[in-house]
Structures are given as C-alpha cells and as structure tokens.
Amino acid sequence: MQSMRWSAYYTAAWCAGVSILALSVFLVWKQRQEGSDIARVSVVNTAEVLATQVESSLDLADALLQSVGRRYRGDARRGSADSAQLAEEVRMEVQSYQPVSRVGMVNSNGQTVFNTALRTPFAQRIDASNLDYFQRARAGEKSLIYTEPLRSDATGEWTLTLARRVESKQGVFLGVVYATIPVRAIGKVFAHVGVGAQGSINMRTAALAQVVRCPELPGANSDIGNRNVSQTIQDLMRSKPGQTLYVYKAVAPIDSVERMYAYQKFDHSPFWMNVGRATADFDTAWRQTAVLLAALTLAMSAFLVWGARRLTRQHRDLEHRLREQSLAKRALHDSEQRFRRLFHDSPVALCVVTEAGVLTDRNRRFNLLFGYSPQELRTIDDWWRLAYPNADYRTEVLQSWNSAVASSVRDNTDIASIEYQVTCRNGGERTILISGLILGDGILATFVDITDRKMLEDGLVKLNAELEARVANRTAELQRSNRELEDFAYIASHDLKEPLRGLHNYASFLQEDYADKLDDAGKNYLERMQRLVERLTALIDGLLAYSRLGSVDLLRDAVAVDSVVDGVCQDLHVFLREHGVVLVRATPLPTIQCNALRVREVFQNLITNAAKYNDKPDKRVEIGCREGPVPVFYVRDNGIGIPAQHHEAIFRIFKRLHEQRKYGGGTGVGLTIVKKIIERHGGHIWLESVPNEGSTFYFTLSENP
Ligand code: ADP
C-alpha cells in the first residue's frame, strides 16, 4: 500500500517527464516539419520565379529574333538584302536584350549573312548549313528552336542558341535567324538568389542536360550539358509523367549533398528550373531546438524525480508521524482507561474537585465509605457541611486543609496527609486520612479510612502501658526478692560462719590435744576435715562478699584508673614475682567516674587470674585501655586460655574449670564479683581467648552513650 503510494509520485513524475519529452519531440518534429515545409515552399517559389524570369528573357530574345527575321524577309522581298545595315541595326538592339550576346542570320544556303559579334561583310562566309538548328529550320520547324548548350569554337564559352526559321509570305525558306545566349549570363541572374549556403540552382533542358548551375562547381561534374541527375527525379518523371512541378528530397549525385528540390518546368520553353535547398541549411534550427528541449526535458525530469523523491520522503515522514500520533493516541486512550479503572476500583476512596469547587468524579470506595449520593454531594461546600456538621470543628478542618493546599502549591508537592473525623451519611464518625494531588485544573483528593487501625493502635497503646506496668511490678518484685535473697545469703553466710569457726576450733583442739591418741588415719581425717572447713569458710566469705555488693550503694568519684592499677600492682608485687610474671602497662589509663575500691577489686581479680592460669615459662600480663566513646579496659595474658563454650560459665558463682588444687586453687567467686561490680557501674565484660595461647578480658565502666 505504502510503496504503491510512493511509486505514484514516481509514476506521476515519470509521466510528466515522458509528456514533456513527447511534447518536446512533437515540437522538434513540428519545427522540422515546418522547416521542411518552408524549404519546400521556398524552392517551389524560387524555381517558379526563376523559370518565369528566364523564360521572359527567352521570350524577349524570341521577340528580337522574330523582329530581325521580319526585317530580313522585308529586305529579301525588296531584293536589297543589305545585310550590313541590318546587322548594324541589330547590333545596336542586342545590347538591350540581355542576356542575348549576339544575333546572327544564316541564309537559305546555310551561309552566315551577319553576326552582330563580327564585323560585316565577312571576309569569308561561315557555313552553318550542317548545324542542327539550321537543318531543323530548313526542314520546316516553325517554332522557336533551342539548341543544347554548346561550346563556342571561337570563344570557348558555353552558349545556348535560339533560332527561328525565316520564310516568305508564301512559306519559302529564306534562312535562319539565331541568337546566342551565354549560359554564364543566365547564371548571373541566379547568383543573386538566396538559396542557403549549400543550395543550388540549375537550369536544365527538357532532356535534363545542364544549361547553367549556380553556384558553379569545379571538376567534371560541372560540365555544362551533363545529365547527372539523381535517380529520384528520374524515377519521379518516369512514374508521374506530364507534371510541370516535381518536389522531392534527394542526395545530389553531383556533390553528394542532400537537398529539397523543386523541378519547375518552363511554361512554354523546353527547360526545367531546378532549385534545391540543402537539408543542412534549413534543418539546423530544429536540431538546436532539439538539443535545447532535450536539455530542458532532462532538467525537468531530474527536477520532477527530485520532487517525487522529496514528496515521497515527506509522505513517508508524514505517515510515520501519523502512525506515531495514532499510537500515542491509543496509548493515551489506554492510559486513560487504565486510570479510570484504577480510579474506580481503587481500594482508596478518591474524588476529583475542580477549581470551581465542583465534585466531578468520585469512585466506588468513596461512595461506599461515606454513603452520600452524588445529588447530596455536588460541591466542596456540600462536603464541608455534611462531613463536618460541627461548626467549630469545620472551621478547624477548613483552616488546616487550606493551609495544606497552600503549602503544597508553594512547594510543588502533594497535599500532606491530615487526619480528620468525618461524619458519614449514616451518622457514624470515621477517622480519615485525607491527602491530595494538585492536578492542572483541580485536586484529586484521597481518603484513607484509618478508623480500625486507629482503634487497634489505641488498643495497642493501652496494652503496652499495661505490659509496662506489669513489667515494672515484676521488676520491683524481682528486685525485692533479689534483695531478700541477698539479705538471706548475707545472713545465712554470716550465721554459717559462727558454727564453722567452732568446727574449726574444735578440730584444732583435737589436733593439738589428742594428737597422741589418734592413729595416722585419724590424724589424716582430721586434717582433711580442717581443709574442708577452711574451704567452706572461703566459700562463705566469697558469698558474703558477693551478697554484700548488692546491698551497698555504689558511690562514684572521678578516679584516675592508672593510680588504682598502680596500687593493685604494688599489692600483688610479691605474688607476681613468685609466679615469674612480667607486667606490661600498654597504655595510660584514663580518669573516669567510678567507685575506686570496687574497680581496684576488678583489676586485682583479673590480674591474679591472668598470673595464675598461665603455664608458660615467660608469663606476661598486659594492662591497657582502648579509647572510644566509652573507654574499654583490658587485661591480657599469654596463659592457658579458655575454650569458647566456657566463656559464659566462668562468670557463674563457684564455677571453676579445674580441679580444686590445680593452678593454686580458688573459690570460683572472683569473676562473679567482677561481673557484678562492672554491671553495677552500668558497664559490661566479655573476653576473647584462644586455648593455649591466652585470654583477654575487656570491660567498660559506664553505659554506652
Ligand atoms: P577462681 O577463684 O577459681 O579463680 P574465678 O571466678 O576467678 O575463680 O575464675 C573462675 C574460673 O575461670 C577459674 O577457676 C579458671 O578456671 C577460669 N579462669 C579465670 N581467669 C582465667 C584466665 N585468665 N585464664 C584461664 N582461665 C581463667
């Protein structure tokens, strides 16, 4: 379809091109035809005019001959044939009979009586008795006799001779009067006639022997008297005999030039006037026109094809644009449809309000949610009135909505969501989150019903509050029971220590006072009992110390931790030396808010453990602090390390990872106390450890900021 339309332009262009070409060809043909017609008319007219002109000259010459003949007859009748006088008269007359050059008289014996070209009387009479015209005249030919062109023996010039029989009234042959016309003289007449550069004028006898040709041609072909004519005219004269005019086109055998020829027969003389115009002379105009028109046609065709191409391209562009436009239109339509569906099926209530305040559109959800019919709710004012029946609240809503719209227009944003209590058609109130979108010519308002969510939220808040109250109660209960437990532990351990001391004392008494009464086994049991009592005491002391921690308020001061550690190192100096431990103070320690005594306990415990749980020959304990939002203290050793699964357990009370006597013994209370002190400061403790490589205990002494 498309290509058909495209090709239509080309077809039109080609048709136009071909039409122009045809028109051009026609014009050229016409011009050529006209040229040919003009040439035809020209040769015909020229031939006719020249024939008439030459013939009238010949008629004049004939008139002269007749006049001379009459006078000769008169002389002959009178018997005084004074040819000398006649000759003199005629000589004078001849001059006014152009192109006749001379007139002569031959008597009945064939002897020349006079010749105007020669002086008379002749020294010797010229014999003309064997000349053709004399014999024909003597034989009785009464009309004018024309000879074939002859070359004069005397002058060497070509001439045409006209002769007439002179006879007495009784018809007795008296002689012949003749006139000689040099063919060149006739040719002179032709020389002034314009027949084009290569045109030709020929006068031929009835037998088609050339009398005169203009222009003269050099060479054999120019011979006067030749019968060298084209086959065309020979054929024409043969096929259409008796015509006085033949017009035709032929190539002249004499000079091989193509010409348009007219052969005009003389009216009453035995001659043909032949005028030819060369095709090349009259044919050039149409050739120039042809070249011009061809160029024009070519240019026009090129222009038309160019135009067609341009049109085709424009057409294609237009089609393309139209297609795109229709696609865009369809896309717009689809999108509009989608928007409509989206609008109407949206789970959110929507309505469109124009700038004039008319509610043009509302979706299903809107109708369902509020229940107002379109008739009730035509304008935004209807909405304000129905949805907010309380005048005070309505004023409040109007203010907040208008300011939300104003700031949305100002900031080029959506209208911010605001919560409103909306009264529905059934009188019920719902909590609605209203927001909007400024469109070109109005507002698309959205209504999200959050009544249920609100209720849920309220319930949740209440539940939370209840939960918090319950947690607070439980915590208080727990704290109380913890305190009671701590009190109990304190009282219990305190009270336990009393009988234990007794047990220890009595065991000592037994050992001191009854040593000799006890055998070795008894002594051994007693020793064991004493060790157990000591251990129990130590355990109870630990418990006591632990429980005491909970009951005492933690007082804090700005404490230079460095000096606290200095004190610990001093206290442990001997212990560390005995264990062969090198103590490294890696970084300076900061001054922080804490309880100096308790922090001292922490460092003492950790450093002691670091020294105790180490089986390396060069024991090393490093103390330092990593600065940060909260300083992180650390105590690092290259000791036995702690497997990962015990990293929590070691902080439990009485938890030890080794048998009682190994690594210098212990109660398993130290780290529990350390943890409690740190937690009471608001900090926490953790460790990194690789078995057989060492452990690092990290701790902070305040809450994270
Ligand atoms: P103890 O009185 O037994 O030292 P702790 O509460 O101080 O009690 O330590 C609990 C247990 O944690 C120890 O018995 C020991 O097994 C392990 N422990 C503590 N510190 C280290 C340490 N630096 N390297 C290896 N093990 C340790």
Above pLDDT 70, what percent of the chain? 96
Those residues whose C-beta lies under 8 Å from the C-beta of residue 441, and which sit 6 or more positions away, are 354, 355
Q: Is 656 in the pocket of ligand 1 (CB under 6 A)?
A: yes
- Smallest CA-to-CA distance from 642 within 663, 664, 624, 626 is with 663
- Residue 671 Cα to ligand 1 midpoint, Å, equals 7
Name the more confident of 598 and 214: 598
Q: Encode pLDDT of 565-579 as tens digits.
A: 999 999 999 999 999
Q: Is 601 in the pocket of ligand 1 (CB under 6 A)?
A: no
Q: Is 697 in the pocket of ligand 1 (CB under 6 A)?
A: no
- The pLDDT assigned to 596 comes to 94
Whether the CB-CB separation of 639 and 603 falls below 8 Å is answered with no
* Phi, then psi, of 362 in degrees rounded to 5: -145, 150
Question: Two tokens at 274?
Answer: 């032949």
Q: Is 542 in the pocket of ligand 1 (CB under 6 A)?
A: no
Pocket probe for ligand 1: among 575, 605, 609, 642, the residue whose CB has the most ligand atoms within 8 Å is: 609
670-680 vs 596-612: helix axis angle to the nearest 10?
Answer: 150
Q: Encode pLDDT of 419-445 as tens digits.
A: 999 999 999 999 999 999 988 788 999
Q: Is 647 in the pocket of ligand 1 (CB under 6 A)?
A: no
Q: Encode pLDDT of 603-626 as tens digits.
A: 999 999 999 999 999 999 999 999
Name the more confident of 703 and 367: 367
Whether the CB-CB separation of 76 and 159 falls below 8 Å is answered with no
| Nearest ligand 1 atom to alpha carbon 669 | 6
- Long-range pairs of 427-435 with CB within 8 A, sequence gap ≥ 24: 430/369, 432/369, 434/401
Mean pLDDT, range 488-516, rounded to an integer: 84
Q: What is the largest CA-CA distance in the chain?
A: 241
Beta strands in 627-693 (DSSP E): 632-637, 685-690
Whether the CB-CB separation of 184 and 103 falls below 8 Å is answered with no
Mean pLDDT, range 119-148, rounded to an integer: 84
* Sheet architecture: strand order including 258-265: 210-214, 200-205, 271-278, 258-265, 245-251
- Residue 220 Cα to ligand 1 midpoint, Å, equals 155
- The pLDDT assigned to 380 comes to 93
Pocket probe for ligand 1: among 620, 671, 692, 693, the residue whose CB has the most ligand atoms within 8 Å is: 671
Helix/strand/coil for 377: coil
Q: Is 639 in the pocket of ligand 1 (CB under 6 A)?
A: yes
Q: Encode pLDDT of 297-325 as tens digits.
A: 888 888 888 888 888 888 889 999 999 99
- Residue 656 Cα to ligand 1 midpoint, Å, equals 6
Helix/strand/coil for 631: coil
Pocket probe for ligand 1: among 605, 650, 669, 685, the residue whose CB has the most ligand atoms within 8 Å is: 650
Spatial distance between the Cα atoms of 419 and 393, rounded to a whole number of angstroms: 13
Question: Two tokens at 29?
Answer: 């043909």
| Nearest ligand 1 atom to alpha carbon 639 | 24
| Nearest ligand 1 atom to alpha carbon 656 | 14
Question: Two tokens at 655?
Answer: 């938890």
- The pLDDT assigned to 640 comes to 96
| Nearest ligand 1 atom to alpha carbon 668 | 8
pLDDT band at 27 (very low <50, low <70, confident <90, very high): confident
Using CA positions, which residue lies closest to atom 16 of ligand 1?
657
- Residue 464 Cα to ligand 1 midpoint, Å, equals 43
- Residue 650 Cα to ligand 1 midpoint, Å, equals 7
Question: Two tokens at 583?
Answer: 């103590």
| Nearest ligand 1 atom to alpha carbon 666 | 2
Q: Is 380 in the pocket of ligand 1 (CB under 6 A)?
A: no
Q: Is 333 in the pocket of ligand 1 (CB under 6 A)?
A: no
Q: Encode pLDDT of 442-498 as tens digits.
A: 899 999 999 998 899 989 999 999 999 999 999 888 888 777 777 777 787 778 888
Whether the CB-CB separation of 141 and 161 falls below 8 Å is answered with no
Beta strands in 488-614 (DSSP E): 557-560, 581-585, 591-594
Q: For 668, how many CA atoms within 13 A lie in the half-sphere containing its CB? A: 15
Q: Encode pLDDT of 386-419 as tens digits.
A: 999 999 999 999 999 999 989 988 998 999 899 9
- The pLDDT assigned to 2 comes to 47
| pTM, entire model | 0.46
- The pLDDT assigned to 219 comes to 60
Whether the CB-CB separation of 127 and 111 falls below 8 Å is answered with yes
pLDDT value at 1 more than 50: no
